[in-house]
């Protein structure tokens, strides 16, 4: 699942690679607009729907993965 | 192409495919430099209708205020406002809808007054969403990031908006190639006979009648109709002559190929006869095998799927219109196009009666009118730069505002109107001379007037005029494209000296002192 999330992030952030520790605080491309784009893409990729509370929390790769695992 | 977008909600994801910058929400304090502007305000999703209506009225005022500050030579795409979410506490109440109607009327009035303000009718996109399962608004994203539209519609929107820009730039398909059996009527003429085919007021004949009426409307909108069918030609001609219910007969067609040959070859021949590119064609055939063949061998031709059932024609014609044939506005030349293509065919038949080519030209009584840029012809001038591919030396594409810029910078812009005893071809040639460096910037002619020496006379006449004005030398360029190789040596043929060249570009010079063209009296030339 981690790899699939990374693929989505590559596409949304237009980066060449996604480090495992990527988070909103250490990635300049991960601004609020791209956060929104990421959520939209993740919802489509994994066929899920996040709650606003989830969206606000999903600020790193680990947190995104945990959230996806918890609703899958 | 850099876009600057004025907005009142979060809409960034909808412009992913565009180079775009955004204003703040309801922020009109600055008008930064951009190539084009977009004004897209949504009716606010408010609980109190008076508040919402007041804001909508204010948006109209903001637009007027901001529009004045934008360079008049730049296009401004203004979205119509749609009632996407309204709470009607009383059925008879019309507060918000009324305000939206007023707002839309206001922008339509502005668009009539200012040529650079172009309407983008967002209602069309909203209607389209009826056919997909996604809701227009995802309220989660509205409350989380002020998004007035479901962000998952971004890709659909992007395609739709790109098409809207094309229609504003007057780009569309020129010609439709139609099959006959089970396409223009139900049944097979060769098997069911003239009495057996279905084209009348009862189902399914009424569906085909519906489709034929649509095609007739396309003709009125300047689309060229042609037929490519496997049938006996005489059977079809008899049907065209005798069947009372047909809307589309040979009078509506600019060309046809009714035979048992390969359709790919027939389509190629139709394009060649009409002098238009294969990428200007849309092929409509109920037979999936024929469609597949054309898709494989002529990928430039658009080949949409055909409706499975006759009663699905309405959706089909809506798709054809939106995707291929709609245009922002139609010029007079467009409307008369089928007529002109037919006249050209008559001219070709006439030609064989003469042995001497000059005699033939003389008999045509060709009248050329050269006219300068004006508000009356600017739309057509811009359209010619957008649509002319074959006889086009530099293939520069201009909008109306580009032409105004050139004019302001001292360019001389000459349009050519061509008429002969068979009919009026309208504005069909354009020649632009820039003056900061005396050069031919654009020289193009519509293909339907070629083959009569008009291209040479037009150029030579204008060059002699420049010589009289005292100009000494003039430069010119041939820029190669996929379609303009027929004019590769045009400047040489008119005495220009090839200065230097690469694979793509040939640069020429001509000393105007050395030229002394005699303009043939075959052509009657007037200037207005």
Cross-chain residue pair B151–A37, CB shorter than 8 Å: yes
pLDDT at B518 over 90: no
pLDDT class for B455, splitting at 50, 70, 90? very high
| pLDDT at site B262 | 87
Q: Which of A39, A44, A56, A58 to mutate to test the interface with B (most CBs of B within 10 A)?
A: A39
pLDDT class for B329, splitting at 50, 70, 90? confident
Mean per-residue pLDDT over chain B, rounded? 90
Cross-chain residue pair A36–B151, CB shorter than 8 Å: yes
d(CA B35, CA B489): 35
Q: Which of A31-35, B6-10, B254-258 has the lowest mean pLDDT?
A: A31-35
Contacts of B13 in chain A (CB under 8 A): 33, 36-37, 40
Mean pLDDT of B489-514: 92
- Give counts: helices (H), strands (E), chain B: 18, 17
How far apart are the CA of A51 and the nearest CA of chain B, in angstroms?
A: 7
CB B117 within 8 A of CB B329: no
| pLDDT at site B504 | 92
pLDDT at B440 over 80: yes
Cross-chain residue pair B140–A52, CB shorter than 8 Å: yes
Cross-chain residue pair A40–B13, CB shorter than 8 Å: yes
Query: Nearest-CA residue of chain B relative to A49?
Result: B140
Numbered residues of chain A with Cβ closer than 8 Å to any chain B Cβ: 32-33, 36-37, 40, 43-44, 49-52, 55
How far apart are the CA of A29 and the nearest CA of chain B, in angstroms?
A: 15
Mean pLDDT of B212-218: 96
Radius of gyration of chain B (CA): 27
User: What is the CATH T-level fold of the domain B355-527, as seen in this structure?
Assistant: Aminopeptidase (3.40.630)
Cα angle B79, B81, B83; round to 5 = 150
User: Measured between CB atoms, which of B10, B143, B152 is closest to A40?
Assistant: B152
| pLDDT at site B130 | 66
Domain boundaries, chain B: 2-168, 175-330, 355-527
The size of the A-B interface in CB pairs under 8 A is 28
pLDDT at B132 over 80: no
Of all residues in chain B, what percent carry a pLDDT higher than 70?
Answer: 96
The domain at B175-330 falls in which architecture?
3-Layer(aba) Sandwich (3.40)
Contacts of A48 in chain B (CB under 8 A): none
d(CA B344, CA B449): 8
Mean pLDDT of B411-419: 94
User: How far apart, in Å, are the Cα atoms of B526 and each of B236, B370, B426, B448, B481?
Assistant: 45, 6, 14, 21, 33
Cross-chain residue pair B144–A33, CB shorter than 8 Å: no
Query: Nearest-CA residue of chain B relative to A50?
Result: B140
Q: Which of B19-28, B345-354, B511-520 has the lowest mean pLDDT?
A: B345-354
Mean per-residue pLDDT over chain A, rounded? 92
Contacts of A34 in chain B (CB under 8 A): none
pLDDT class for B330, splitting at 50, 70, 90? confident
| pLDDT at site B42 | 97
| pLDDT at site B500 | 93
pLDDT class for B511, splitting at 50, 70, 90? very high
Contacts of A43 in chain B (CB under 8 A): 152
Domains, chain A, with CATH or none = 2-71 (1.10.1200.10)
| pLDDT at site B347 | 61
Could you read off the pLDDT of A6-30 as tens digits, one per residue? Answer: 999 999 999 999 999 999 989 989 9
ipTM of predicted assembly, 2 dp: 0.84
Cα end-to-end distance, chain A, whole Å: 11
Mean pLDDT of B28-45: 94
pLDDT class for B116, splitting at 50, 70, 90? very high
pLDDT at B348 over 60: no
Numbered residues of chain B with Cβ closer than 8 Å to any chain A Cβ: 10, 12-13, 16, 140-141, 143-145, 147, 151-152, 154
| pLDDT at site B345 | 62
User: How far apart, in Å, are the Cα atoms of B297 and each of B2, B177, B255, B301, B305?
Assistant: 37, 16, 21, 9, 16
pLDDT class for B375, splitting at 50, 70, 90? confident
Would the CATH topology of B2-168 be identical to that of B175-330? yes
| pLDDT at site B446 | 86
Mean pLDDT of B199-225: 93
Mean pLDDT of B130-139: 83
pLDDT at B349 over 60: no
| pLDDT at site B425 | 81
Mean pLDDT of A35-43: 94
> Strand, helix or coil at B479?
strand
d(CA A63, CA B9): 29
d(CA B230, CA B257): 8
- Out of 1.10.10.60, 2.30.30.170, 3.30.930.10, 3.40.50.1110, the CATH code matching B2-168 is 3.40.50.1110
Query: Nearest-CA residue of chain B relative to A51?
Result: B140
CB A58 within 8 A of CB A50: yes
Contacts of B12 in chain A (CB under 8 A): 33
């Amino acid at each position: 699942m981690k790899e699939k999330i990374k693929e989505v992030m590559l596409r949304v952030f237009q980066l060449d690679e996604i480090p495992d520790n990527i988070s909103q605080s250490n990635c300049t491309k991960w601004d609020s607009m791209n956060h929104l784009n990421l959520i939209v893409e993740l919802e489509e990729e994994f066929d899920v729907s996040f709650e606003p509370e989830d969206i606000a929390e999903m600020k790193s790769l680990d947190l995104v993965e945990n959230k996806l695992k918890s609703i899958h | 192409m850099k876009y600057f977008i004025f907005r009142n909600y979060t809409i960034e994801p909808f412009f992913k495919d565009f180079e775009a910058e955004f204003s703040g929400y309801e922020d009109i304090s600055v008008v930064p430099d951009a190539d084009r502007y977009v004004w897209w305000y949504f009716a606010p999703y408010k609980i109190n209708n008076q508040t919402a209506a007041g804001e909508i009225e204010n948006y109209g005022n903001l637009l007027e205020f901001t529009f004045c500050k934008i360079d008049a030579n730049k296009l401004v795409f203004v979205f119509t406002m749609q009632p996407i979410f309204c709470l009607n506490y009383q059925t008879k109440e019309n507060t918000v809808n009324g305000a939206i109607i007023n707002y839309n009327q206001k922008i339509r009035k502005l668009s009539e007054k200012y040529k650079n303000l172009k309407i983008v009718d967002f209602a069309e996109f909203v209607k389209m969403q009826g056919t997909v399962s996604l809701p227009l608004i995802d309220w989660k994203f509205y409350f989380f990031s002020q998004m007035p539209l479901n962000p998952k519609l971004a890709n659909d929107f992007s395609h739709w908006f790109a098409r809207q820009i094309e229609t504003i730039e007057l780009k569309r398909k020129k010609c439709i190639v139609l099959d006959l059996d089970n396409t223009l009527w139900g049944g097979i003429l060769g098997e069911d006979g003239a009495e057996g085919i279905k084209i009348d007021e009862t189902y399914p004949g009424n569906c085909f009648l519906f489709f034929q009426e649509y095609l007739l409307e396309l003709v009125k909108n300047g689309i060229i109709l042609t037929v490519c069918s496997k049938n006996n030609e005489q059977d079809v001609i008899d049907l065209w002559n005798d069947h009372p219910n047909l809307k589309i007969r040979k009078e509506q067609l600019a060309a046809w190929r009714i035979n048992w040959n390969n359709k790919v070859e027939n389509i190629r021949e139709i394009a060649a006869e009409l002098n238009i590119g294969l990428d200007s064609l849309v092929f409509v055939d109920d037979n999936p095998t024929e469609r597949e063949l054309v898709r494989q061998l002529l990928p430039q031709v658009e080949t949409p799927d055909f409706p499975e059932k006759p009663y699905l024609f309405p959706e089909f014609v809506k798709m054809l219109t939106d995707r291929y044939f709609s245009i922002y506005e139609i010029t007079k030349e467009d409307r008369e196009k089928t007529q002109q293509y037919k006249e050209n065919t008559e001219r070709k038949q006439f030609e064989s009666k003469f042995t001497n080519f000059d005699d033939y030209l003389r008999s045509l009584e060709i009248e050329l009118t050269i006219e300068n840029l004006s508000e009356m012809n600017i739309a057509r001038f811009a359209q010619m730069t957008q649509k002319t591919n074959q006889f086009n030396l530099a293939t520069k594409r201009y909008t109306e505002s580009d032409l105004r810029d050139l004019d302001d910078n001292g360019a001389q812009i000459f349009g050519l109107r061509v008429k002969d005893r068979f009919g009026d071809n309208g504005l069909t040639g354009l020649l632009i001379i820039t003056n900061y460096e005396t050069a031919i910037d654009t020289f193009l002619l519509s293909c339907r007037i070629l083959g009569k020496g008009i291209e040479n006379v037009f150029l030579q006449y204008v060059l002699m005029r420049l010589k009289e004005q005292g100009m000494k030398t003039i430069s010119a360029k041939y820029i190669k494209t996929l379609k303009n190789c027929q004019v590769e040596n045009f400047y040489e043929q008119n005495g220009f000296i090839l200065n230097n060249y690469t694979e793509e570009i040939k640069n020429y010079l001509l000393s105007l002192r050395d030229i002394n063209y005699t303009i043939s009296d075959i052509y009657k030339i007037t200037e207005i």
